[in-house]
Amino acid sequence: MTCVRSGRTVDRPAFGQLVDARATEIKKHIPPSPARIVIAINDPIDCLVSLFAVWQCGRCAVMVNPDIKDKERGNVIASTGASLWLEDGHAVQPLAFDPRDDDIKNAALILMTSGTTGVPKGVTHSLAGLQARLEENLKAIGPAALQRTLCTLPLFFGHGLIGNALTALYAGQHLFLWPKVQMNELSSFGATLDSNGITFFSSVPSFWRMLLAVSFPPKAPMQRVHVGSAPLSADLWRKIGEWCGTGNVFNTYGMTETANWISGGAFGETESTDGYVGRPWGGEFRVLRDGHLHDTGEGEIAVKSPGQMLGFWRDADKTRETMMDGFLLTGDLGQLSADQSLRLVGRSKNEINIAGIKVLAEEVDMLLESHPDVAEACSFGIPDAVSGERVAAIVRARTPDLLAQDLILWCRQNARADAVPSKIEIVDEIPKNDRGKIARVDVKARMIAKWS
């Protein structure tokens, strides 16, 4: 594997030696009880070395953002009962851990969901489950496309860790790590792809919106590209394919609870490309409607997938709420066809209720982003005394000339009345969380406070 930024390269034998040495150091500090070990390491190679070392010690790794704040750190320690905290520079900090037995047997990896400011959810996976997911990823992608895989996503994020890094390593291919690509690095991104001969790359829509604005495309097309973790409009999907020089651009569907990818569909596989995420990569889909699981139709998506989580750490009630007849309830809304092909519509929790009429925030996002002068949009509901809620949005414009009122007028001409924002504000940047996703809940709270 290679760190793009530092140029450091570690081959397989050297990686194994580093893992052995790290495991020896960790064993000096771990208690006999199988308590968890937190990994909060920026250096991507050292982060992966520590992960494999924790597994070599027979312990469960908890992956967190290295930039975690003190309060969040305390929340993670309290909720996982961690015994060690691993940081950059090979620092090992023993903790006053919770001596209770493991809540979930065979736990090998806990990925913390984005709510670490409150009581965080610890999505728990076993090594067997991870291997099952990686095998399905390899079947879907193929070893040839993975030959030279680039990961720009955080390794505490399932998309980056499992989808990019572990999938490439499992396939025995060369992994290039370039975490937290900076704005001043984006302009040379296409050239970097060429110089490293990158064949496969997966990222999130917000990354592509920035990249397409500042970088020339690579001279050599990549074999395969994935986009996921957030809704992808057909227009952006098409532009990504043009920039990459390949039709093998897949809109992927996945979540932390399923060890990242569940399915993926390539542009052009269907006439209706907005929200199309193909068929399952192992497992099967159902839709929850009227309290029952159905083989086809519209409703909340339920999935039974290889690599499905063992459960939420120390939250059996939440785990039971999320499961139904062996299927995981995703909270996503979609349309399922008889051939198991799926089109996502939005998140049920992002519904805007306008006097009983439901509008999906993602639907409004895609409407706004289809305007030629809109680079990015974040839509949400705001309180209304008459209708309960109404649609509002913030928008990052491509040009300084775009006016909010003109954009609202354009929406009225191009969408049904219910989906037209009553209020739009033009902003320089739309806040993202540490996984690169639009922080919709935070944006909504901030704008309601500002406008009230």
CATH code 1.10.150.240 for 128-347:
no
Question: How do residues 54-80 score in pLDDT, each as one tens digit?
Answer: 999 999 999 998 888 777 788 888 888
Q: What pLDDT score was predicted for residue 261?
A: 94
301 contacts 330 by C-beta, under 8 angstroms: yes
Amino acid present at 53: A
Domain spans, the chain: 2-102, 128-347, 355-451
- The span from the CA of 452 to the CA of 449, in Å, is 5
Distance CA 273, CA 109 (A): 34
pLDDT tens-digit series, residues 392-423: 999 999 999 999 999 999 999 988 788 899 99
Percent of the chain with pLDDT over 70: 96
CATH topology of domain 355-451: GMP Synthetase; Chain A, domain 3 (3.30.300)
Torsion of CA 214, 174, 200, 369, to 10 degrees: -40
Give me Rg for the CA atoms of the chain. 22
**Residue among 419, 398, 395, 416 nearest 407 (CA):** 395
In our burial notation (b when 16+ CB lie closer than 10 A, e otherwise), range 186-212 reads beebbebbeeeebbbbbbbbbbbbbbb
Taking only the tens place, the pLDDT of each residue in 109-146 is 999 874 433 466 899 999 999 999 999 999 999 999 99
Q: Minimal CA–CA distance to 137: which of 171, 111, 184?
A: 171
Q: Label residue 204 by pLDDT band (50, 70, 90).
A: confident
Task: Record the pTM.
Answer: 0.83
Give me the mean pLDDT over the 191-206 stretch: 94
Higher per-residue pLDDT: 52 or 121: 52
**pLDDT mean over 420-445:** 90
pLDDT tens profile 341-366: 999 987 777 888 786 677 889 889 98
Q: pLDDT band at 157, cuts 50/70/90?
A: confident
The pLDDT of residue 353: 79
pLDDT of residue 355: 67
What is the residue-averaged pLDDT of the chain? 91
Question: In this predicted model, what pLDDT tens digit does every residue of 255-310 receive, in sequence order?
Answer: 899 999 999 999 888 766 788 999 999 999 999 999 999 999 999 999 999 999 99
More confident residue, 415 or 103: 415
Q: Is residue 99 predicted with pLDDT exceeding 70?
A: no
Task: Assess whether the region 128-347 and the region 355-451 belong to the same CATH fold.
Answer: no
Yes or no: domain 2-102 corresponds to CATH 3.40.50.980: yes
Distance CA 10, CA 1 (A): 5
Going by the DSSP 8-state scheme, the letter that residue 162 receives in this structure is I
Other beta carbons within 10 angstroms of residue 363's beta carbon come to 24
Q: What is the pLDDT of residue 115?
A: 42
Containing H/E element for 397?
Answer: strand 388-397
Mean pLDDT check: name the lowest of 157-161, 203-207, 370-374, 384-388: 384-388
Task: Tell me what pLDDT residue 58 has.
Answer: 94
